[in-house]
Chain A
C-alpha cells in the first residue's frame, strides 16, 4: 500500500511541475476540414458555411447531452458568453455528437437552459472524426483566419479562464 501511495505521490509531483511549465498548448495552424453537419431543424450545413463569418474568433465546443463535464463547461460558458462576445466578438459554436438516441433532445435541451450558442448536430461523428477527437468535451479556438490556435480536452472549473486567454489572443 505504501508503495502505491509513493507511486501516486511521485506522479502527482511530476505532473504538477510539468503542468506549471507548460500551462498552454497550441496546435498546428490548420483549418477545420470540410464536413457536413445538421442545423437543429435538420437542414445540412457545411463547416465552411458555418465558419464563413470571420468577424471574430470562434470557439468550437464538442459535447453531448449525456456528458456531464460538457454540460458543466457549457453552462459556465453560457454565463460568460455575453461579456466575452462584447469584448472580442467571439462566437461559441456547440457541436453535439449525440446520436439518434438523443439528437432530437438537443433543441429542447439547449433552449430549456436558455443557452444562446449556435448549436449544430454531428450525429454520426463525421466532424469529430475529421478533427481526430477521441473524447469530449473537446474545445478548439479558431482565429479570424479560421485557423486552430488552441485546443483543450476535458473540463474543470478554471479552464474557462484559460479559454478566455486563448480567445483574447485569437482576437488580436
Chain B
C-alpha cells in the first residue's frame, strides 16, 4: 500500500464518519442511553533529521467506544478499546482489543454499590486514586466491588477491593481500601442538623492495603503494604484551609530502587477568594510515596496513588518543552498564585477589564542522607538541589467585543538531569513569552494568532513559534503553526516543525485531519506525563459524544 493510498483511505474514512455523525437521527439514542467514541490514527514517515523512527505498520490507529445506560437507580456501561497498533508514545503493551471496562452500579438512598470497574479518589489521591487519562494511555481502574454507605447526613463510608487494570489484563496486586468522610457542618439525624457551624468543616481518613506475593530469594519484601491518610478542610465565605497527611510502610520496588524506607506525604494549602482577588498558597513534601500494585511496574502503569506536581500547568506549545513531573522519591515544593481583575472603565483595566495572574512555584530535593544500600535518613528541611522553579505572569485584556489578547511571560529553572534522568545537562533557565490574540471578524468567523519565543542558554538553544487559526464558520478550524529551533547550537539541527490541520465540529462531534512534523517531547495532562517521540506524518482524530 503506498502512502498516497493510505492517506486517501484515511481521508475517505474521515469524511464518511463526518457525514454519518452529522445526521441528526444518528445522534438520537434511546432514552437513558449515552455513548461516545474516539479514533486516533497517524501515518509515520521516517525522518532521520528529527529522529522520527520508522514504523513497520506505516499507520497506527487506536480508539474506543463507550456506552452507558442509566435509569434512576441503575447504571451500567462498557468500553470497547482497540489498538492496532498503539500510537508511538503509548505503551506498546496496549496492542490488541477487548472490553477492559464494564460495570453495573446500583444507586440507593443510603448506599450505592458498583460491580466491575470503578474510578475512585480518596482525599487528594495521595494514597488512592484510580482514574483514566486516555490521551496519555493511563487507565488504572479498579476491577472489583465498591460500596458507598451514607449512614447519616454528612457521613460517607467508601469501601472497595479488587485488582487494577493493566492494559487488557489485571495487575498482580490485590487492593483493599476504605475511606471515611465526615462533613461536620452537614451532620444530620432524621434530616435535622446536629449542630450549626459558621464554617464548613470536613474531616476524612482513609486506609489502603496492597497484597502481592513475594518470592525474592534475597530481599525480605513485605507482601502486604499498608498506607493511611488523614485530611482536614475548613472553608469560610472567603477562606479555605486544606491539609492532608499520608503514610505508607516500607514498600521496596523497582522504581524506588528497593528502598526499605517508609513513605510519607504532606500537603497544605490556603486560599482567599474575594471579589476580584484570588490568592492560593500551597506547600507539599513527598518522601518515597511511589505506590503501585505491582513491584515491577514502571512509568504510568498500575499506580495506586496520585502525586501531582505543585506547579502550574502550561499548555502553550513551547512551554511544554520543559514540563515538571513529580519526583515521588523525595521533593519539597511551594506554590503561590495571585489572580486579580483590574476594574472595567479604569485607566489600567480598560473599557472591558483586565485580569492578571502571577504564579510562582519552586520544587527542590528533601534533606536526606544515605544510611546503607536500602535505607536513608530524611529530615523535614528542604534539600539543596533545585529541581524546578517557575515564575510566570499572565495578563488577559479584552480590548473590545471583538478583540482579546493574552500576554504570558515565563521564567523557568529546569533541572534536566533530575527531571529527565539524564546526565551532563544541569539546570537550564528558559525565558519565554507568548502573545495570543483572538479577533472575532463577524458572528461566525474568527482569527487567532499566537506568537512565542523561548530564550534558552544551552540545551537546544532558542525556539520561536507562530500559529494562525482561522475559523471561517463556527464549525471549521483551519490551523497552521510552526515551531522553529532557530538557536540550536548545532546549525544543521535548526529544524522547523510545521503543522497544518483542518477541524470540523458539530454538536458533540469533532473531526481533525492534519499533517505535522512533531518534535520529541513530553505530553502532560493534569499531573501525569508521557514521552512523545518525534514523528512525521498525517493524522486523523475523531471524537464524538452521542
Q: Residues of A with Cβ closer than 8 Å to B?
A: 3-4, 7-8, 11-12, 14-16, 18-20, 22-30, 33-34, 40-44, 65-68, 71-72, 75, 79, 98-105, 107-114, 123-126, 129-135, 138, 150-154, 156-159, 161-162
Contact = CB atoms under 8 A, between A and B. Distances in A.
Nearest to A15: B504
9 contacts: A22-B24, A79-B352, A104-B271, A151-B508, A151-B545, A157-B402, A157-B438, A159-B474, A161-B474
Given A34-B107, A79-B352, 13 more contacts: A12-B476, A23-B475, A28-B28, A30-B34, A41-B240, A44-B156, A75-B396, A100-B527, A108-B271, A112-B338, A124-B121, A134-B134, A153-B508
A42 to B, nearest CB: 5
Contacts of B502: 8, 11-12, 15
A38 B131 CA distance: 17
B473 A19 contact: yes
A131 B28 CA distance: 14
A124 B119 contact: yes
B258 interface: no
Contact of A100 (B308, B402, B439, B500): B308
B240 A157 contact: no
A28 B30 contact: yes
B282 A104 contact: yes
Interface of B is mostly: strand
Contacts, number: 270
A15 B543 contact: no
A-B interface, 10 closest residue pairs, ranked by CB to CB distance from nearest = A108-B278, A25-B507, A112-B339, A112-B278, A101-B308, A19-B475, A132-B36, A41-B235, A111-B273, A157-B440
Given A41-B200, A107-B273, A108-B271, A14 B68 contact: no
A151 B507 contact: yes
Interface string B195-238: 00000101000000000000000000000000000000101000
Given A16-B473, A27-B27, A131-B34, A156 B119 contact: no
Nearest to A148: B34
A70 to B, nearest CB: 11
Contacts of A126: 119
B15 A11 contact: yes
B404 interface: yes
B78 interface: no
A14 B18 CA distance: 10
Contacts of B233: 41-42
Contacts of A101: 308-310, 313, 526-527
B299 to A, nearest CB: 19
B475 A108 contact: no
B473 A104 contact: no
Nearest to B506: A25
A161 B444 CA distance: 8
Contacts of A130: 34, 68, 70, 75
Interface string B493-504: 000000010111
Contacts of B353: 114
A111 B278 contact: yes
A34 to B, nearest CB: 6
Interface string B268-286: 0101111111111010000
B18 to A, nearest CB: 6
Given A151-B507, A154-B510, A156-B446, A113 B34 contact: no
B463 interface: no
B29 A28 contact: yes
